[in-house]
Structure 1
Amino acid sequence: MVKKTVVYTENAPKPIGPYSQAIAVHNPDRLIFVSGQIPIDPETGEIVKGDIREQARQAIDNLVEVLEAAGATVDDVVKVTVYLSDMNDYAEFNEIYEEYFGHSKPARAVVEVSKLPKGVKVEIEAIAAL
């Protein structure tokens, strides 16, 4: 596992969710850039219908599967970008996100976008370092 350090300063705002102000990565052998994952059920190829919680769980499960296929885990993730179609879903999304990333707290950005592929509520991408 690559050595990573959580960066924290009192001179910037404290994180308001399950993420770090920054992550410093020391001499990684490999970086993995995971494309945006949306809530598609890999068995059926269909969009998971339901609320943000159900869609978030499927999108993150898909992300985890891609990480594992590359030989990584959520503990190796150093940066996440989340796209929400409605920022009012932020708190509920965060609850699901924390189940997966709450212990590792990679650096993260969450942005609201006007539209996502296939009309989904969430898309999530990540960078992992090994």
Structure 2
Amino acid sequence: MTTDHGGLPLPDYDELPVGTLEHRIRSLGVPELDQLLHYEHEHADRAMVVQVLTARKRQLDAGAPLSGGNPAAAKPEKAAPGRGGSPVSPATSQEPMSPPPHGTPAQQGKPKGDRTG
């Protein structure tokens, strides 16, 4: 088994989201899964990835068939970068308002600091 990233059965393995990886390993056999597990333990050792690879190995050991297709032929997906920040600003936020008083829903509420009148 090699720990060289170029020798892995999935292109851009390190950049694949776990959900994509779960589908892409369906056409791999036990030797390829062992290779990915070895690489994963040597590098990132991500618990979810190890769990997905181990679960697929158990499925194959129990007689599950390999899926068709070439995992290397698919364009690898990458996790979307976080957007961060909020598009809301003081200019676009709603004006503060007080709820109407109890018992008269059609009457507009008054600001709490204005109790006269």
Shared fold (TM-score greater than 0.5)?
A: no
Larger relative helix fraction: 2
TM (normalized to structure 1)?
0.29
Larger relative strand fraction: 1
